Amino acid sequence: MIAPFSEVLVVAGILFALGAFCAVVRRNLIMIVLGIEIMLNAASIVFVGASLHLSNLDGQSFVLFILAVAATEVSVGLAIIVYAFRRTGSFDPGNFNLLG
């Protein structure tokens, strides 16, 4: 392994934070989903790094599944979001706050 595992963790951590930041800050439903995807990727990086670090293949399989799940997530999420967009013409999460 070229890079030490701790540096992998740092990178993943930064990526995770960036994803979270994106999800929290951008007032756009699509961007929120995107941010969440980035967080998933951060996790994937840790899994891969750990898998290499530990010489354990579980992590690799994890990543495979994450890819699939992320795709599902995007499809389900986008389906709902796009439908919502069609009804309201807006991606602003603030427009979807009528309940309560």
Kindly list the residues in this chain that would bind other proteins in the complex (CB under 8 A): 5, 9, 12, 16, 19-20, 23-25, 27, 29, 32-33, 36, 39-40, 42-44, 46-47, 49-50, 53-54, 56, 58-59, 61-62, 65-66, 69, 72-73, 76-77, 79-81, 83-84, 87, 93-94, 96-100
Name the minimum Å distance from CB 4 to other proteins: 13
Closer of 2 and 55 to other proteins (Cβ): 55
Name the minimum Å distance from CB 89 to other proteins: 13
Name the minimum Å distance from CB 31 to other proteins: 10
70/66 Cα distance (integer angstroms)? 6
**Distances in whole angstroms, Cα of residue 16 to Cα of each of 3, 43, 50:** 19, 7, 16
**Distances in whole angstroms, Cα of residue 97 to Cα of each of 5, 79, 100:** 43, 19, 8
Name the minimum Å distance from CB 81 to other proteins: 7
Q: How many CA atoms lie within 13 A of 52 on its CB side?
A: 14
The H or E element that residue 28 is part of is none
